[in-house]
């Protein structure tokens, strides 16, 4: 059983090594129709798709993203490279974030960088993220190995079957707790940022209202 478990973790790590982001240079810098978009996503996201997923995305899903203003609308039924980048981000984020949270993340980025003709653009942001994630991937694998090795050090005084069962359970719980903590931290960070933006907007509206009130008072004094 020990050798079997070791083989399993090695197989998982091997799969993680093969997981790859869509390379920035592989994203066509031409406008695509819906069918072309779906074909591209299926081909490029093949290494990260779950076994139960028939398609990376569907026409209905993409239309819903547009309808809910998560994805900017296509131009004459065509999707640009920045649309494709949005869809790639959405694909990764939707596995652990709500559509509301994804919208709150992408909205300010799209407002400032979507379709930018000069300076920093959406493509540059994505390329930077891919470079960073390639570095982080190594640390992630090291952490998984560390958790696995720790799980093999507990319950060693039990008989073999119970030991294997509880060591596997420990490893699963370690990974699950790690996911839980990071997901919770991410959700709270997004909520806190949104709260800060709401406060700034309210303060801005209050300042505008105060200015308008003062202007009206000044105008009334002038008229008198």
In this structure, are 120 and 176 located in the same domain? Answer: no
For residue 68, pLDDT beyond 80: yes
In this structure, are 89 and 13 located in the same domain? Answer: yes
pLDDT digits (tens, 9 = 90+) for 92-119: 999 889 999 999 999 999 999 999 988 9
Q: Quickly count: other Cβ atoms within 10 Å of residue 135's Cβ.
A: 8
Give the integer Cα–Cα distance in Å for 113 and 130. Answer: 17
- Residue 158 belongs to what domain range? 154-223
- pLDDT at residue 126, rounded to an integer: 93
In this structure, are 115 and 8 located in the same domain? Answer: yes
1, 3, 81, 13: which is closest to 44 by C-alpha? 81
In this structure, are 44 and 121 located in the same domain? Answer: yes
Residue 169 included in any domain: yes
Average of per-residue pLDDT across 154-176: 95
Give the integer Cα–Cα distance in Å for 115 and 113. Answer: 6
- pLDDT at residue 138, rounded to an integer: 83
The number of domains in the chain is 2
In this structure, are 47 and 109 located in the same domain? Answer: yes
Residue 18 included in any domain: yes
From its phi and psi, is residue 115 left (phi > 0), alpha (psi between -120 and 50) or beta?
left
- pLDDT at residue 163, rounded to an integer: 95
Q: Which residue has the tokens 């074909």?
A: 39
pLDDT digits (tens, 9 = 90+) for 130-151: 888 877 888 888 899 999 999 9
Q: What is the 3-state secondary structure (H, E, C) of the chain?
A: CHHHHHHHHHHHHHHHHHCCCCCHHHCCCCCECHHHHHHHHHHHCCCCCCCCCCCCCCHHHHHHHHHCCCCCCCECCEECHHHHHHHHHHHHHCCCCCHHHHHHHHHHHHHHHCCCCCCCCHHHHHHHHHHHHHHHHHHHHHHHHHHHHHHCCCCCCCCHHHHHHHHHHHHHHHHHHHHHHHHHHHHHHHHHHHHHHHHHHHHHHHHHHHHHHHHHHHHHHHHC
In this structure, are 12 and 94 located in the same domain? Answer: yes
pTM for this entry: 0.75
- pLDDT at residue 56, rounded to an integer: 86
- pLDDT at residue 103, rounded to an integer: 95
**Cβ 38 vs Cβ 30: under 8 Å:** no
- pLDDT at residue 86, rounded to an integer: 96
Looking at per-residue pLDDT, the higher value among 211 and 96 belongs to 96
pLDDT digits (tens, 9 = 90+) for 30-64: 999 999 999 999 988 875 655 556 788 999 999 99
In this structure, are 12 and 88 located in the same domain? Answer: yes
Residue finishing a domain among 125, 146, 170: 125
In this structure, are 24 and 103 located in the same domain? Answer: yes
């Amino acid at each position: 059983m020990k050798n079997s478990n070791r083989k399993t973790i090695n197989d998982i790590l091997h799969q993680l090594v093969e997981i790859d982001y869509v390379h920035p240079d592989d994203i066509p810098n031409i406008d695509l129709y819906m069918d072309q978009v779906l074909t591209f996503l299926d081909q490029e996201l093949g290494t990260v798709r779950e076994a139960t997923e028939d398609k990376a995305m569907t026409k209905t899903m993409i239309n819903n993203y547009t309808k809910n203003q998560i994805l900017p609308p296509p131009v004459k039924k065509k999707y640009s490279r920045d649309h494709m980048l949005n869809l790639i981000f959405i694909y990764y984020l939707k596995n652990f974030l709500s559509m509301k949270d994804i919208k709150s993340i992408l909205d300010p980025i799209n407002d400032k960088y979507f379709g930018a003709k000069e300076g920093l653009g959406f493509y540059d942001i994505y390329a930077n993220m891919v470079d960073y994630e390639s570095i982080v991937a190594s640390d992630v694998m090291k952490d998984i190995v560390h958790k696995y090795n720790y799980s093999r050090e507990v319950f060693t005084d039990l008989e073999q079957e119970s030991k294997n069962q509880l060591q596997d359970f420990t490893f699963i719980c370690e990974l699950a707790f790690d996911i839980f903590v990071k997901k919770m931290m991410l959700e709270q960070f997004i909520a806190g940022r949104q709260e800060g933006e709401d406060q700034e907007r309210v303060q801005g509206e209050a300042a505008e209202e105060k200015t308008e009130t003062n202007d009206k008072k000044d105008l009334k004094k002038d008229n008198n």
